[in-house]
Structure 1
Amino acid sequence: MEQNKFEKMYLMQTVQKTIVILRAFTKEQPKLSLTELNKKTGIGLSSLQRFVATLVYEGFLIRDERTKHYQLGLSLIHLGKLVEEESSIITIAQPILQQLNQITNESISMSIIDGNERRCIMNVESNYALSARNHVGDTSPLYAGASAKSLLAFLPQEEIDEYLNKVSLQRVTENTVVDREKLIQELQRVREQQYIFTRAERIVGACSFSTAIISNGRPIASIAIIIPEARFDEGQFDTLRDLILQAKFDIEKQLNK
């Protein structure tokens, strides 16, 4: 027990020191030498060298070989852009998704790519007692379910290939597509028609319509209407498809203003 406590303290201190190093860079001092970092952070030179070498390797710092100075790296720009996009998309999408919920009375969710998974970041509850839904924070493989596949489909092909090369396609339900060629063909159809409909592919007893929100050529989120199979009416298919696509277009229009 004491060993675990020690390890947690060590990990926290490591993260804190990393943050201190990154925060040492300012608008007034965008470039710092190792000696200057040592003075600003108070971290010993031997430890500081290891921290800095790791941050350079991961792209969070850049080292100028001529001057031996360091500056913040492009990985931070990427992360900052993700935060900016996610914050703005939540603000823009929330009223549109709430309106979609009022029209359909069904659960409406929004998800993003988190590493190799889909993560739900917003859910508007169904007005029915019987409902199917995503919970905020829930994750799933990018190859399983409408919300995930609509994100995967719009990644650049090389990123799709890279993902499929390292992931093991396993069934979540009996309807999960685990044949790589069939999955690739399905992703192509999603790109062509701009939406996907799945039935009990990730959640038994649930149907989903989903589409991706595209910004600067990349999928930054997906939105979905989630309906219990017991209540799904095939006669509503076209209406629900049109509603999810209209919500997509409305969100993208505001994002690109």
Structure 2
Amino acid sequence: MSTSTPASDMVGKALHVLTLLGERPTGVTLSELARASGFPTSTCYRLLKSLTRDSFVEFDARTKHYTLGLRVYQLGQRVSHAHGFAGVALPVMRRLAETCREAVLMSVLDGDKQLYIHHVEGPQQVSVRGEPGKHGPLHCTSMGKVLIAFAPTERREALIEGIELTALGPHSITDRAAFRTEIEQVRAEGHAIADEEHEPGIRALGVPILGPDRIAHAALSIAAPAFRMPPADLLALRPALTNAAHELAVLLPPRPF
């Protein structure tokens, strides 16, 4: 009778290893990866050997560090191209950043988080930075709020009632009833503001990129340092932000839900 690990379980472990490597772009040693994953060192080694063979992982013999390989980048680029994110979204976002002179970000709903897709820095010396490829919270960001507000009804309700309302910034909403009221207001007004809710000193204005079904296929935001962007000035940028979102709604292919 065989006692080997089922293939499906090994696939899950391999994906977990890739996820951990993605969170450590400078690389990680075998022992560090074993500790982070909770897998035996021998299991990590077998997984890394297979992933390295197929170019999903690269190994630096000098530093003994493992990093994500070019195969992962290649697949990521194909996904980005299929969704129109790179070739279509970036030119629109760059124009918006030049117009508003602040950072522009784009994200999509991914489970109970948002996945940052693109970031364009503003032209000023002090600018908000984004991290494409990373997940962020929904409840305390402008893009997260519009992604919830314009999600399909059942999913919207599940997120309003189910996501953790962690206090990440000085003005984070942590009361469930107040959060529901906030999302209802965002849906009614068509935009969301995050005023130092995710991080101190950062304000952002977000709008949905809507499909014909009025479901948000993505979100777009302008983010700026609070010292430079009073709430009234931020709201004054809404027409430019909304125009960019309307343009992207026409150009981007729809996301399946």
Give the TM-score of the pair, scaled to structure 1: 0.65
**Structure-1 separation of matches of 2:148 and 2:46:** 37
- Checking the alignment, whether the CA contact within 8 Å between 1:85 and 1:220 is kept in structure 2 is no
Is 2:85 aligned against 1:98?
no
CA 1:234–1:216: 2 relative to 1, 3 Å: closer
- Counting matched residue pairs gives 192
1:32-89 residue CA offsets vs partner (Å, 9 max, x unmatched): xxxxxxxxxxxxxxxxxxxxxxxxxxxxxxxxxxxxxxxxxxxxxxxxxxx4896224
The residue correspondences of 1:127-206 to structure 2 (distance < 5 A) are 127-206=123-202
Inter-CA distance 171–253: structure 2 relative to 1 (3 Å threshold): same
Could you say which residue in structure 2 is the equivalent of 1:219? Answer: 216
Residue deviations 1:145-164 (CA, integer Å, cap 9, x gap):
11211111111232122234
- Counterpart secondary structure, 2:146: helix
2:56 aligns with none
Q: Which residue of 1 aligns with 2:44?
A: 8
Q: Which residue number in structure 1 is paired with residue 236 of structure 2? A: 239
Query: Which residue is equivalent to 1:62?
Result: none
Tell me by how many angstroms 1:130 deviates. 1.5
Deviation at 1:189, TM superposition (A): 1.5
**Contact 2:209–2:216, Cα closer than 8 Å, also in 1:** yes
> How many angstroms does 1:113 deviate by?
1.5
Structure-1 separation of matches of 2:80 and 2:133: 19
RMSD: 2.9
- Pairwise CA distance, 1:140: 1.9
Quickly say closer, same or farther: Cα 1:239–1:174, change in 2 above 3 A.
Answer: closer
1:139 positional shift? 2.2
1:116 has 2:116 as partner = no
What SS does the aligned partner of 2:205 have? strand
Q: Which moved more, 1:158-167 or 1:101-110?
A: 158-167
Q: Which runs of 5+ in 2 are unaligned?
A: 1-30, 52-78
Amino acid in the other structure paired with 1:242: P
The amino acid across from 2:147 in the alignment is L
Q: For structure 1, which runs of at least 5 residues remain unmatched after alignment?
A: 16-82
Q: Percent identity?
A: 22
1:33 aligned partner: none
Q: Offset at 1:4?
A: 2.5
1:168 deviates by: 2.5
Partners of 2:205 and 2:234 within 8 A in 1: no
Aligned to 2:15: none
Q: Which letter does structure 1 place at the counterpart of 2:173?
A: V
8 Å contact 1:108–1:133 — kept in the other structure? no
Aligned-partner residue type, residue 44 of structure 2 = K
Determine which structure has more spread, i.e. the larger CA radius of gyration. Answer: 1
Give TM-score, length-normalised by structure 2.
0.65
**2:81 and 2:87 in contact (8 A); partners too:** no
Q: Please, which moves more after superposition, 205-214 or 85-94? A: 85-94
